[in-house]
Structure 1
């Protein structure tokens, strides 16, 4: 069966392919191979730049041709590597042989044994994968997150003066402003985004058990630690972990997963609030001609975008949580469990992007129903009790909380009239009475 969006097992590559296809540049098998080739080529060039004695005659004019191996890397090249892997049964060794074949084509066969010199496969994987992850975060994830933040910020501004009844424990509470409530999410997301950006993209580079054994035995006079720090930190623009086993310890990667999960949790909170406001009729939704909300009930316009986002964020978080808990743990100097897990890092990233796009779509469909919002405020004059009893406290009025409690908890409807009558019966100055009477559910919104 030919793989198409209709035959793909995962909806990431099926139903949602248009949203996630950009991630193939970072997390597909072909992309992983390309980034491995990139590390191998740049490592060889770095060895030439020391230079190693056997490479001192390597003409630097060939560097551009070598870099073109990964710059021009295409699907045909990826298939060539996979064909080699059928024999080697080792993915990184297949990359090494692929590059050696390229050296033969470039008449550089005398130097090809310095491809992958002194390295183990994890020196390649634990640099290629964080490199691709960093690119995906910077080039794919962050732009969509910024788009979402920009949209929420616009709504914060648009709805800054919209008074709204708040609800704590599901019950009417002191009024607020709709724009301010959305600004809560802006501040939370920015705070977690800033934390995410401070976490280094860590990489391992140090040979079979992290000690440069092979490098040191061949060239003991070279400071391999300084060389590798410079190569990883400056050339690959990652952060080399100084003491490792055969693999990166993934502590910073786990921190990144936790940070991504926290941002997703904030958006789950936002989605649920928007869903609830829609159910309260505070928002209606723009209807696209021809769309159907229910297969049976013609009147329905469901908040499906917020629901879709919430569901995808849940899947993403389950995987991020597993990565954060699993990856920092490896038996002794290495087991293989990290390899198969890391191959799936694109999955939660894809579900996250799907969710971001769904939330953006949902927010763009919202139509403010100020009539319903105002009606809810007018139906809940009891929320002004907090304001009244606080002013009465200021005026040293005896037992103001208890007086308002008796008024608001009776079975009678509390409205503007009953509040006014209550105020008129208080033994306070006329100025204070007028001050209290100026308070309404719509203007008692604080700062």
Structure 2
């Protein structure tokens, strides 16, 4: 008999299998949904952005002639320099990794990676200009800001807009479908299915507008934010203005006052907004799941797909369940990042360094959830007849309308309208009433003819107020 130890020794180590097997689900099972983030928030993307920032700073210094003896770069040299980050691929990733294995410092490795190329560009004498007057965080904060901005604007926001657009289409389909409300889980004043979904469209849209207006801050002011090295080298230069113009050329907002690090407050603001969007979307998923469970939505089967491994009749609402879980994981990370990144011991500690390496994972779980919700919405069919039957079984919800009309009649001087709430409570609470019983009750009230006619014309399906109009007005 083989012992457990022997079996462990004989087992293939999956960590050694080629190509490499991903440890996490985002880079494994769900990579197709999250792969676009790799171009902005992976380690390789961070290094490419560092090269981009270093190269642009090099060009900026030459363009502004901030040091005596700096030549003006030719257009060809500028193009060649900018080709360095643009051509950053697998070979360059491996090369940079080999340099870092020696330097044991990621930003220093980027500096050497660039200086190694200057001779081939006819710029060997300008090697000292690479990383000039910079601390690592001058490069890092700008590189992260560029990556986060591009990930949000080019990946997360398009995915969120696509999902909200799909949700708006569902509102269009269901705007006029009367539906029994349930407040506290109990039958309540009817609405329309579309109006309830429109509430989420409206809420999510508001969060999107906040995120679309997000500022991405950057700084370039040296080891403790004082421009000390800059002034030592070129005291006559207006270094704050030079730094501001450079940061703004990168498409970022200049932060004029920092310690060694950019304070990351903008990141905390962004992550709070994304997390709030996630929480609203989580609520939508719970509601859609619940509507599916009571039959208000039918799920359109996907050809060849299995719902349950043992119960062939089932189509499980897995898209919304998957989204719930991933939104929760995303928010756990976003909340942690928002809390961690705004604090630093004195002028600098490294807690932010480890934290920021998880930004891609935090946004990745949100992007995965967005993908699942979008797919799930496309597989929903409104079961109007089930919703209508539910309404028809709950005529007692018209009690609100009747007692409110009685109050209005009392104010208008119609006799016999006393205690309207109590009388409707006695009629409806704890028991079901049908159309006939309600009509009989209304007939005996002594209402004005117009009010009686209005109430007798009401049905649960007609008692939806402005729900359909509100759904159409606020679903875009």
Superposition pairs of residues 416-431 of structure 1, within 5 angstroms = 416-431=435-450
Q: CA offsets, 1:218-244, max 9 Å, x none?
A: 1000000000000001x1010121110
Local SS of the residue matching 2:460: coil
The match for 1:128 is 143
Alignment RMSD (CA, Å): 1.2
The match for 2:34 is 20
Post-superposition offset of 1:431: 3.3
* Residue from 268, 271, 274 that aligns with 2:282: 268
- Asked whether the equivalents of residues 409 and 448 of structure 2 are also in contact (C-alpha less than 8 Å), the reply is no
1: CA distance, partners of 2:86 / 2:310:
54
Post-superposition offset of 1:204: 2.3
The match for 1:99 is 114
- Asked whether the equivalents of residues 249 and 327 of structure 1 are also in contact (C-alpha less than 8 Å), the reply is yes
Superposition pairs of residues 250-265 of structure 1, within 5 angstroms = 250-265=264-279
The match for 2:8 is none
Q: CA offsets, 1:108-165, max 9 Å, x none?
A: 1101100000001000000001101101111111111111111111111111110100
Q: Which of 1 and 2 has higher RCO (CA within 8 Å, sep 6+)?
A: 2
The question of 1:112 aligning with 2:127 is answered yes
The question of 1:162 aligning with 2:182 is answered no
* Residue from 433, 439, 444 that aligns with 2:452: 433
2: CA distance, partners of 1:182 / 1:133:
30
Q: What TM-score do you get using the length of structure 2 for normalisation?
A: 0.91
Post-superposition offset of 1:296: 2.0
Superposition pairs of residues 53-92 of structure 1, within 5 angstroms = 53-56=68-71, 58-92=73-107
* Residue from 205, 208, 227 that aligns with 1:212: 227
* Residue from 227, 236, 254 that aligns with 2:242: 227
2: CA distance, partners of 1:334 / 1:3:
40
Post-superposition offset of 1:429: 3.2
- Asked whether the equivalents of residues 159 and 179 of structure 1 are also in contact (C-alpha less than 8 Å), the reply is yes
Post-superposition offset of 1:343: 1.0
Superposition pairs of residues 167-206 of structure 1, within 5 angstroms = 167-206=182-221
- Asked whether the equivalents of residues 148 and 360 of structure 1 are also in contact (C-alpha less than 8 Å), the reply is yes
Local SS of the residue matching 2:187: strand
- Asked whether the equivalents of residues 219 and 243 of structure 2 are also in contact (C-alpha less than 8 Å), the reply is no
Post-superposition offset of 1:197: 2.1
Post-superposition offset of 1:192: 1.0
2: CA distance, partners of 1:57 / 1:428:
91
Post-superposition offset of 1:3: 5.7
The question of 1:377 aligning with 2:397 is answered no
Aligned residues: 444
2: CA distance, partners of 1:60 / 1:372:
69
The question of 1:152 aligning with 2:167 is answered yes
1: CA distance, partners of 2:291 / 2:214:
36
Q: What TM-score do you get using the length of structure 1 for normalisation?
A: 0.97
Task: List, as ranges, runs of 4+ consecutive aligned residues in structure 1 with deviation greater than 6 Å.
Answer: none
Unaligned 5+ runs, structure 2: 1-15, 411-416, 467-476
Post-superposition offset of 1:4: 5.1
2: CA distance, partners of 1:340 / 1:2:
27
2: CA distance, partners of 1:410 / 1:147:
44
